[in-house]
């Protein structure tokens, strides 16, 4: 895969995931590389251990990104920011102001920090203000690509996906309000890229459709954060996906083994579990 967009298609490569193809490294994290609409976009950076290892193997130079998007501020999506920016960059960085918030998961009365690592926070603080865009509403990155901005929470069966809090004592629940997704209009519908879908996968897909005049969903790629989902949530998610009828579902990262298996049973060959090294190609809009 080359680092220049070839006319007539959108190409998406998974750079970081919990699973990896031959010759690549895996980590608990997520990162995508997109070439679309004449733009190079890096979507999330993983924890930081494998992004700069896997990318060159795939023929990708992430420092050449025109846009860098953080889907939310958790460490496994933002941790690679510091090492990436140390390599040099000319990108515009897009993220919600909430990415810098302290946040925790609490299980068995034990708090674990999930926030952006200190080195990444320092890199963000040093980032040129003229190239930083705080995303608090939908944003167009080009004629056929954009960001959702904060995602409305409408479904009754979806939640943030875990015991998340804004304080170590667990007094303030964290709805992960900084969660956002990226969409691309292709010839056959909308391609939706999600980091963890903490706003809910169906909430996210519906918002993308609203932003694009009700256009159909062609594909959804990323972490669906269904690893803690109960049977009812899984069933209602699958029912809603059946109504949306995407051609391609690529569950990655935090989707969870049980959820991936349920999606494979429900959608057959349309569900292709992701891993670092997977490349998806789509015909560009208007082709």
84 touches 93 (CB < 8 A) = no
Q: What is the mean pLDDT of residues 38-67?
A: 97
Contact 141, 39 (CB under 8 A): yes
d(CA 215, CA 135): 23
> 69-108 pLDDT, tens per residue?
999 999 999 999 999 999 887 899 999 999 999 999 999 9
Tell me the pLDDT tens digit for each residue of 183-219.
999 999 999 999 999 999 999 999 999 999 999 999 9
Mean pLDDT of 237-256: 98
Higher pLDDT, 1 or 208: 208
pTM (predicted TM-score): 0.95
Contact 273, 252 (CB under 8 A): yes
- Give dist(CA 221, CA 241) in Å, integer: 13
Average pLDDT for residues 214-242, to the nearest whole number? Answer: 97
């Amino acid at each position: 895969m080359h680092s220049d967009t070839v006319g007539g298609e959108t190409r998406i490569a998974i750079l970081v995931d919990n699973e990896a193809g031959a010759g690549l490294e895996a980590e608990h994290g997520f990162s995508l590389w997109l070439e679309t609409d004449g733009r190079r976009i890096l979507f999330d950076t993983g924890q930081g251990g494998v992004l700069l290892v896997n990318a060159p193997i795939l023929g990708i130079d992430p420092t050449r990104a025109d846009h860098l998007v953080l889907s939310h501020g958790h460490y496994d999506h933002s941790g690679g920011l510091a090492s990436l920016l140390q390599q040099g960059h000319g990108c515009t960085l897009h993220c919600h102001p909430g990415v810098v918030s302290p946040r925790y998961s609490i299980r068995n009365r034990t708090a674990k920090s999930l926030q952006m690592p200190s080195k990444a926070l320092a890199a963000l603080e040093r980032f040129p203000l003229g190239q930083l865009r705080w995303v608090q509403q939908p944003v167009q990155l080009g004629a056929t690509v954009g960001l959702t901005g904060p995602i409305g929470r409408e479904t009754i069966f979806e939640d943030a996906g875990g015991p998340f809090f804004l304080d170590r004592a667990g007094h303030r629940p964290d709805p992960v309000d900084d969660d956002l997704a990226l969409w691309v209009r292709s010839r056959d519908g909308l391609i939706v890229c999600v980091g963890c879908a903490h706003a809910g996968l169906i909430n996210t897909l519906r918002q993308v459709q609203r932003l694009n005049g009700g256009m159909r969903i062609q594909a959804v790629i990323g972490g669906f954060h269904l690893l803690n989902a109960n049977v009812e949530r899984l069933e209602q998610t699958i029912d809603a996906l059946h109504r949306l009828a995407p051609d391609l579902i690529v569950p990655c990262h935090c989707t969870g083994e049980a959820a991936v298996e349920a999606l494979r049973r429900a959608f057959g060959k349309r569900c292709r579990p992701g891993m670092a090294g997977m490349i998806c190609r789509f015909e560009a809009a208007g082709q």
